Structure 1
Amino acid sequence: MKNIKLAAQLMLLVGVSNGALADVDKVQGISLEPATMSIAVGQEKYVATLISPTSAEDKSVTFKSSDPTIVAISQNGEIKAKSAGDATIQATTTDGNFTANLAVTVKDRLALDENKTINLADWDLEWADDFDYPDEQLDEKWVSQNGPTENPYVLCSRWRDNAKVHDGILELKAIKESRGGQDWTCGNIWTKRTFKYGYFEAKYKYAGAKGTNNSFWLWPKTKGVKEGEKAFEIDINEGHYPNEINTNIHNWTDVTTLQNGKVNHFKDHIIDTADGDFSEEYHTYGYAWDENRHEFYFDGKLIRVEENDFNHSETNILLSLAILSAEIAGTVSDDIDGTSMKFDYVRYYKKKPNVK
């Protein structure tokens, strides 16, 4: 008799325990990160869902915008700003129909003065490289990548051998050769010195083949970022042959994991094109940066202006030739072999005192 009672008690305990576990596996609430968002027309950002408890079995949600003409959202949490105004994104759990809201304010982009040009009389030249020296002196100001490239979209390893100074230019070469576990080699260098607010300018030609990424950009390569600052990337130009200009702003600190498991960061890119073959012609690419604004220039003319929300740390200058997969810069072919970026100069200016 005692054994029967004991078995019944054990069964009851197991039932309670299993029921408790079942409750834990049910969704009990949802919140969104962030809870509010400010975004400019044309930009894309992301929202993450935080389901409680974390042990919940079904974490799926559906998203809805109160006004898709102002802000649209995909079912993975990718937000696209359409027009100026206010809207609310609502997320609803499949399990339990719990909801959470994200208040979104969409603002117009800063107005572009299409007649504005860079006035170098307002700036003092503080640092420059005109590449008018023997090749071995390159290493006095620059560090070269010497090894494979970890980015899965980059098909080339990059080496000092592919960065050569001669006849007053720096040449970053693309060669079809197996080295470092990759089928191509290219050149990629960055400054030993770091920089902050100022005006950056480079004069260069593209490599003359599709599939190449011809970059003049900023990234905190050597010092990293201080606590509380953002790891940013500014692509002054990621040029694609024959005449595409890509200006990009990235925040690599604030990342979001979407419903599909993809990890995304904030990025804002604009593509421009101009007439001509940029592998045959030198053009200048400039970037004016202060506490409040980004200004991008092509051949001295303003082509883009944005608010500066997070770019406030010191950075290196990078000059990079890459070969990209996935048709990002066009089809990769043997036409790339032997082509090169050619830099005439790289310069950094600081605003003169009392000049606004």
Structure 2
Amino acid sequence: MKIINSSIATCVAVTGVLMSCNSVTFVEEAAAKSDIANTSMAPASQVAGTQLNLDDWNLLWNDEFDYANEQLEENWISQNGPTEHVLVASSRWRENAVVENGELKLITKKETRAGQDWTSGNVWTKQNFGYGYFEARYKYAAAPATNNSFWLWPKHGSPEGEKQCEVDINEGHFPNVINSNVHNWTDKWTLANGKQKHYNNQIAHTLIGQPEHNIVLDKPISTNKIRLTSKNPKAVHLREFRVFSAELEGFPDALSALDPSIVNYAAAEDVTITDNGNNNAEGSKTEFSVDNNLDSRWISRSTGKKWIQYEWADKKEIGGIQLVNGLLAQDGINNGWLEPELASRNLMTDFTIEYFDGQEWQIIHDYQSAEIANFGEQYHTYGLAWDEDYFRFYFDGELYYTVRNDVCFSETTILFSLAILKGNYSGEITDALDGTAMTIDYVRYYQAK
């Protein structure tokens, strides 16, 4: 087996070959979404899948946006000017925050203003809020490169002696990625290279999707090259990639180690594995995509298009492909995750598998998670229960993640913001962004009875 890490320049040349759209017919065996399991180790309020019972809470404040646009200023303040952040490509203005038909829309526009090429909107509350349950119902702006945020930050200042704490209930990325973060912006340290760091626990959740994909070809193909490409906005986590002979009858269990009697061409002696850059940290090497160990994985580069290619000295007759992506828990409940296998973390939002027919690349399979769940078209609720001990994150009223509260103990502000992010951080900036909007139906604040 040969492992080759190609340069970025090589990536441009290779992806530039893409490609003929003549496709091979396939049938994907649908893998059931793993159920969120109860965990006896955790108290009831921390068990994944626990439904929030609003009968235990008193509604103290809410905004249903059922008023004229001019009344927005009664409860909210808008940014009017450039956004001074290295990742953000949009200035933000009150004109881009529009109340209509019982909804607040934060609208993107392709226009140069305040030195930035795009505009969007954001708002924050005039009022501060303490411990309680925060919930908003909204749709994402339906385009890549957007950051659709519902978050808490002490916009009006923190009391003396308290830490500057940011809690991102959801920094949503199209089509269905949920990002939760807890930042401590007070306690910072400097690395040997001079870069300043602070504590945060940013995690990308894909709660609707599947970690395993079984792709069965109804007609075998003969090739010496197969590759997987992706525009996933984050790094791709490929735990296993398996290429099977046309003679194999039935697929093995994707989430189990492969029986030695079953040949995986992707791990053959004559295979050469090439990628366009990967995270070479210990525990995430390129060859781990075929090591028959579900606890290890290949992690791609973080931004831009990604690809990994498997090439053989002689052609193989291929009848099926199996892959597993995402992450596994290392220590279960101790790291805040409530699912034993954490199959829903860092799933790919898209990927394409192709084979080389001797002249050009042909598509075997194209997967788009937006076809399963499109949060640009669907309303969902995003919630946070915050107390002096824990942050508990909810999706459509169901608990999916818990993390200790070691930093946030003073009142804070509620914010909504739509940002356009540079550098393929959440996808490529294109004209498809123009006119899209993060659409908020309501926001509500409760305190425990």
| TM-score category of the 2 structures, normalised to the smaller one | 0.5 to 0.7
Alignment of 1:93-112 (within 5 A): 112=46
Alignment of 1:205-284 (within 5 A): 205-222=139-156, 224-273=157-206, 274=208, 275-284=372-381
Match for 2:431: what amino acid? Answer: D
Residue 209 of structure 1 contacts residue 241 of structure 1 at CA under 8 Å; is this kept in 2?
A: yes
Q: Give the structure-1-normalised TM-score.
A: 0.67
Give the CA deviation at 1:281: 0.4
Q: Distance in 1 between matches of 2:422 and 2:142?
A: 17
Give the CA deviation at 1:278: 0.4
Residue 138 of structure 2: aligned partner: 204
Give the CA deviation at 1:115: 2.5
Residue 350 of structure 1: aligned partner: 447
Match for 2:418: what amino acid? Answer: L
Match for 2:420: what amino acid? Answer: I
Q: Any idea what the Cα deviations from partners look like across 1:30-66, whole Å, max 9, x if unmatched?
A: xxxxxxxxxxxxxxxxxxxxxxxxxxxxxxxxxxxxx
Residue 220 of structure 2: aligned partner: none
Q: Distance in 1 between matches of 2:47 and 2:430?
A: 40
Residue 128 of structure 1: aligned partner: 62
Match for 1:182: what amino acid? Answer: Q
Q: Distance in 1 between matches of 2:114 and 2:73?
A: 21
Q: Distance in 1 between matches of 2:63 and 2:94?
A: 17
State the structure with more CA Rg.
1
Q: Distance in 2 between matches of 1:115 and 1:237?
A: 18
Q: Any idea what the Cα deviations from partners look like across 1:93-147, whole Å, max 9, x if unmatched?
A: xxxxxxxxxxxxxxxx978512311110000000000000000000000000000
Residue 326 of structure 1: aligned partner: 423
Q: Give the structure-2-normalised TM-score.
A: 0.53
Residue 206 of structure 1 contacts residue 279 of structure 1 at CA under 8 Å; is this kept in 2?
A: yes
- Given candidates 284, 297, 305, the residue that maps to 2:394 is 297
Alignment of 1:153-232 (within 5 A): 153-222=87-156, 224-232=157-165
Give the CA deviation at 1:154: 0.5
Which structure has more RCO (C-alpha within 8 Å, separation ≥ 6)? 2
Q: Any idea what the Cα deviations from partners look like across 1:283-323, whole Å, max 9, x if unmatched?
A: 00000000111000000000110111111111100000000
Match for 1:174: what amino acid? Answer: T
Determine which structure has the larger strand proportion and give its number: 1
Match for 2:436: what amino acid? Answer: T
Q: Any idea what the Cα deviations from partners look like across 1:13-33, whole Å, max 9, x if unmatched?
A: xxxxxxxxxxxxxxxxxxxxx
What is the DSSP-based 3-state SS (H/G/I as helix, E as strand, rest coil) of the residue aligned with 2:388?
coil
Unmatched tracts of structure 2, length 5 or more: 1-40, 209-371
> How many residues in Structure 1 have an aligned counterpart in Structure 2?
243
Residue 52 of structure 2: aligned partner: 118
Q: Any idea what the Cα deviations from partners look like across 1:62-87, whole Å, max 9, x if unmatched?
A: xxxxxxxxxxxxxxxxxxxxxxxxxx
4+ aligned runs moved over 4 Å, structure 1: 109-112
Residue 411 of structure 2: aligned partner: 314
What is the DSSP-based 3-state SS (H/G/I as helix, E as strand, rest coil) of the residue aligned with 1:177?
coil
RMSD of aligned Cα (Å)? 1.2
1:148 equivalenced with 2:245 (yes/no): no
Residue 110 of structure 1 contacts residue 305 of structure 1 at CA under 8 Å; is this kept in 2?
A: no
Q: Distance in 1 between matches of 2:404 and 2:435?
A: 40
Q: Distance in 2 between matches of 1:181 and 1:313?
A: 35
**Identity percentage of aligned residues:** 58
Give the CA deviation at 1:330: 0.9
Give the CA deviation at 1:227: 2.0
Q: Distance in 2 between matches of 1:228 and 1:237?
A: 27
Match for 2:96: what amino acid? Answer: N
What is the DSSP-based 3-state SS (H/G/I as helix, E as strand, rest coil) of the residue aligned with 1:161?
helix
Residue 79 of structure 2 contacts residue 123 of structure 2 at CA under 8 Å; is this kept in 1?
A: yes
Q: Distance in 1 between matches of 2:92 and 2:426?
A: 18
